[in-house]
């Protein structure tokens, strides 16, 4: 299954929960990119990833290579949850080619059973992102009002100091949403045409949203149409 949704829609959290429910890997490009910079800072791949520091996107080729490496692992043989990939139609085509372009409903691992698109209004996104606190060490995220850490400004998971990501500042949010509308939103039509799309209301408490995600994700194969 792959997740789609604008920045702040909660697809990372929901994707991780679904993967853990199913006992399959949560393949998050954000987490993978962080991990590559930590584990293999001098590799060719790390050099290609470092463009993010200049505010650029990782190339389609690099993103594809990183995801393919994860999907080829034996842990992914029973299935996987993709989060942050594909980000545009070109990447979606590359993924489809990689997965062997089998029809929906073919047994895993070499097919996508469905795509969950989280739908959230822009005002709700702004509230979420403007209050978001992120741990630069382990990637955990909190919210000033909705999900504050136990100790102010400190990560519950690893004890590191929390920060507001550059990316979550209002002026950067506009740019991120614009990028999403231009490049990623066309994927909604792309997957609808292929009978794989499930739109899920992404507003409300995390548990409520997860209930909807779980119900949508339980429908497989031709049920997705
Ligand atoms: Zn942390």
Q: Which of 34, 50, 165, 172 is catalytic?
A: 165
Whether residue 192 lies in the annotated active site = no
53 pLDDT more than 50? yes
pLDDT of 220? 60
221 pLDDT more than 60? no
Q: Which residue has the higher pLDDT, 197 or 54?
A: 197
Residue 118's pLDDT band, with cuts at 50, 70 and 90, is: very high
Residue 28 bridge partners (DSSP):
83
Residue 205's pLDDT band, with cuts at 50, 70 and 90, is: confident
pLDDT of 186? 95
Protein residues with C-beta less than 5 angstroms from the ion ligand 1? 135, 137-138, 140, 155, 157-158, 160
Whole-number Cα distances in Å, 102 to 82, 99, 113, 157:
17, 7, 10, 40
Q: Which of 50, 176, 183, 192 is catalytic?
A: 176
Q: Are 93 and 45 contacting, i.e. CB atoms less than 8 angstroms apart?
A: no
Task: Select the highest-mean-pLDDT range: 33-42, 84-93, 95-104.
Answer: 84-93
29 pLDDT more than 50? yes
Query: For the residues 154-168, what does the mean pLDDT come to?
Result: 91
Whether residue 34 lies in the annotated active site = no
Q: Is 39 helix (H, G, I), strand (E, B) or coil?
A: helix
Q: Which tokens in the block code for residue 52? A: 């993010």
Ligand 1 midpoint to CA 145 (Å):
18
223 pLDDT more than 60? no
Query: For the residues 180-208, what does the mean pLDDT come to?
Result: 93
Ligand 1 midpoint to CA 144 (Å):
16
Ligand 1 midpoint to CA 134 (Å):
8
Residue 224's pLDDT band, with cuts at 50, 70 and 90, is: very low
Q: Is 141 helix (H, G, I), strand (E, B) or coil?
A: strand
Query: For the residues 146-175, what does the mean pLDDT come to?
Result: 89
pLDDT of 123? 87
Q: pLDDT > 70: what percent of the chain?
A: 92
Q: Which residue has the higher pLDDT, 66 or 55?
A: 66
Ligand 1 midpoint to CA 98 (Å):
34
Mean pLDDT of the chain: 88
Q: Are 160 and 136 contacting, i.e. CB atoms less than 8 angstroms apart?
A: yes
Ligand 1 midpoint to CA 160 (Å):
5
Mind listing the pLDDT tens digit for each residue in 56-97?
788 999 999 999 999 988 888 888 999 999 999 999 999 998
For 108, other C-beta atoms within 10 Å of its C-beta total: 17
Ligand 1 midpoint to CA 178 (Å):
29
Residue 110's pLDDT band, with cuts at 50, 70 and 90, is: low
pLDDT of 39? 92
Please provide the DSSP assignment of 89-132 as one string.
HHHHHHHHHHTT-PPTTPPSSSS---EEEEE--HHHHHHHHHTE
Ligand 1 midpoint to CA 132 (Å):
14
191 pLDDT more than 60? yes
């Amino acid at each position: 299954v792959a997740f789609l949704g604008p920045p702040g829609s909660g697809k990372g959290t929901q994707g991780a929960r679904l993967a853990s429910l199913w006992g399959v890997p949560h393949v998050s490009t954000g987490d993978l990119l962080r991990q590559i910079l930590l584990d293999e800072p001098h590799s060719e791949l790390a050099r290609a990833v470092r463009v993010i520091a200049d505010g650029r996107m990782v190339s389609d080729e690099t993103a594809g290579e990183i995801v393919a490496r994860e999907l080829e692992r034996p842990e992914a043989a029973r299935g996987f949850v993709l989060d942050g990939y594909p980000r545009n139609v070109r990447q979606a085509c590359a993924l489809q080619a990689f997965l062997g372009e089998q029809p929906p409903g073919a047994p895993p691992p070499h097919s996508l059973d469905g795509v969950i698109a989280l739908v959230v209004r822009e005002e709700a996104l702004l509230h979420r992102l403007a209050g978001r606190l992120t741990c630069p060490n382990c990637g955990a995220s909190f919210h000033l009002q909705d999900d504050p850490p136990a100790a102010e400004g400190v990560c519950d998971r690893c004890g590191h100091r929390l920060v507001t990501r550059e990316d979550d500042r209002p002026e950067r949010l506009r740019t991120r949403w614009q990028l999403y509308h231009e490049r990623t939103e066309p994927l909604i039509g792309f997957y609808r045409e292929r009978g794989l799309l499930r739109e899920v209301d992404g507003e409300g408490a995390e548990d409520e949203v997860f209930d909807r995600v779980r119900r949508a994700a339980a429908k497989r194969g031709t049920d997705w149409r």
